[in-house]
A = this chain, B = another copy of it.
Amino acid sequence: MRILLVGAGGVGDAFAKIIARRSFFERVIVSDYDLGRAERTIAAVAAKYGDESAARFTAAQIDAGDPDRVASVAREHGATHVMNAVEPKFVPSVFAGALAAGCNYLDMAMSLSEPHPTDAYTETGVKLGDDQFALAADWETAGRLALVGMGVEPGLSDVFARYAADHLFSEIDELGTRDGANLVVRDESGAEIFAPSFSIWTTIEECLNPPVIFEKDRGWFTTQPFSEPEIFDFPEGIGPVECVNVEHEEVLLMPRWLDAKRVTFKYGLGEEFIGVLQTLHRLGLDSVTPVRVRSESGPVWVAPRDVVAASLPDPATIGPRMTGKTCAGVWVTGTGVDGAPREVYLYHVSDNEWTMREYDAQCVVWQTALNPVIALELLATGAWSGLGVLGPEAFDAKPFLDLMSASEASGGYGEPWGMEDRLVRPASAADPA
């Protein structure tokens, strides 16, 4: 397996640091628009794991927005798989470039949506991933696999959903992805500061898009941003966090392979962060339309959202000043295999202090990058195989979760996952899973 990694930003960099510990691949071509960034990632691998390990990596320059350039870099290096680790707006070009070069393909976010032209907050328009699924036949014909949405959320969440459907439930009422964290960033003096662990620009985009929901009787539909707020209690000390509906890939992926009455995604932004986003929206500071502003060199035109992003700490720099954990998982309700009502939360927690120490990577990007590495290993060993455009829930979840949780000493990734039964039931009826 020869992997063309497109993008050496936060997630791409963490991907390289994780896969460097594995032996299933022959080569990773680390490519970036900025060649220096790709080289820095390989230098970090060399520093951490030695030159021999780093010798399996090659740096390359790429333009992710140009499918021809993606294809030519893939061909030049004999890539068998293209791993997309750039912003979602580049999905169509990287996806097309991979197919043109005859490669298999993985990404961690799907092609972007476009709101319904007249009823944006009730009807879907172009949905997340629609542009990719439209080309499924081309991938099948080419005998290649595009495994889409294979990060942590989407990704691991979809694997959990498949596991629940196969092993825990006879009938599913809701597949509810729930993401929450208790991350805190401090300034030099130790005071807590407002510093999102991901791009505020992208977060605004994600949170202000009409959230999408799936219901079996109704199909996909949209709601108002921040709708259906709920307090979800996250495990391992994170505790209760306010979650709201946010547009996310799981809602588009899961119903294609799994049977559930309802599929939702709620993001544990927390009350404070939701308040901040709502205030920015209310004041028009989320706008990407430039406004005229006085400056020392006369009037200039700037987009308020760019000013908000420029005023906050760069998310790439906050890892060392951050503490806490982030949790990704799926809350499943319905009827258990024994016919009794069941409610479980399947989850994986990532601790920033641990990921910084072990991988020199911030926990949110580390947790995202871990899952495509595992998926690639399953594809390399043949444990997973498929053709066309498929989501993670199209594959058997058990080998994935087994490989993830097995210790490094026994060939796994040493990353246990958890399951909480959330209905109090008589001990005699407890599920042995």
Hey, which bits of chain A sit against chain B, CB under 8 A?
194, 275-276, 279-280, 282-285, 287, 290-297, 300-304, 306-308, 310-312
> Chain B residues with Cβ under 8 A from A194's Cβ?
282-283
C-alpha spacing A287/B312, complex, angstroms: 12
Q: Kindly provide the distance from the CB of A118 to the nearest chain B CB, expressed in whole angstroms.
A: 16
Pick the residue among B284, B301, B304, B307 that contacts A296 (CB under 8 A): B301
> Chain B residues with Cβ under 8 A from A297's Cβ?
300-301
> Chain B residues with Cβ under 8 A from A275's Cβ?
275, 279
A304 touching B307 by the CB < 8 A rule? Answer: yes
> Chain B residues with Cβ under 8 A from A294's Cβ?
302, 306, 310
C-alpha spacing A234/B296, complex, angstroms: 43
> Chain B residues with Cβ under 8 A from A311's Cβ?
283-285, 287, 291, 304
C-alpha spacing A297/B302, complex, angstroms: 9
A308 touching B285 by the CB < 8 A rule? Answer: yes
Beyond A276-B279, A279-B276, whether A295 also contacts B284 by CB under 8 A is: no
C-alpha spacing A394/B411, complex, angstroms: 86
Copies in the complex: 2
Q: Kindly provide the distance from the CB of A300 to the nearest chain B CB, expressed in whole angstroms.
A: 4
Besides the contacts A283-B311, A295-B301, what 5 more A-B pairs have beta carbons closer than 8 Å? A279-B279, A287-B311, A291-B307, A291-B311, A302-B302
Q: Kindly provide the distance from the CB of A250 to the nearest chain B CB, expressed in whole angstroms.
A: 30
> Chain B residues with Cβ under 8 A from A290's Cβ?
295-296
C-alpha spacing A287/B307, complex, angstroms: 11
Q: Kindly provide the distance from the CB of A33 to the nearest chain B CB, expressed in whole angstroms.
A: 16
> Chain B residues with Cβ under 8 A from A308's Cβ?
283, 285
A-B contact pairs, 20 of them (CB 8 A): A194-B282, A194-B283, A275-B275, A276-B279, A276-B282, A279-B279, A283-B308, A283-B311, A283-B312, A284-B312, A290-B296, A292-B310, A294-B306, A295-B300, A295-B301, A295-B302, A295-B306, A297-B301, A300-B300, A304-B307
> Chain B residues with Cβ under 8 A from A292's Cβ?
310
C-alpha spacing A224/B63, complex, angstroms: 51
Select the residue from A280, A283, A312 with max chain B CB neighbours within 10 A.
A283
C-alpha spacing A308/B308, complex, angstroms: 10
Select the residue from A194, A300, A306 with max chain B CB neighbours within 10 A.
A300
C-alpha spacing A90/B143, complex, angstroms: 76
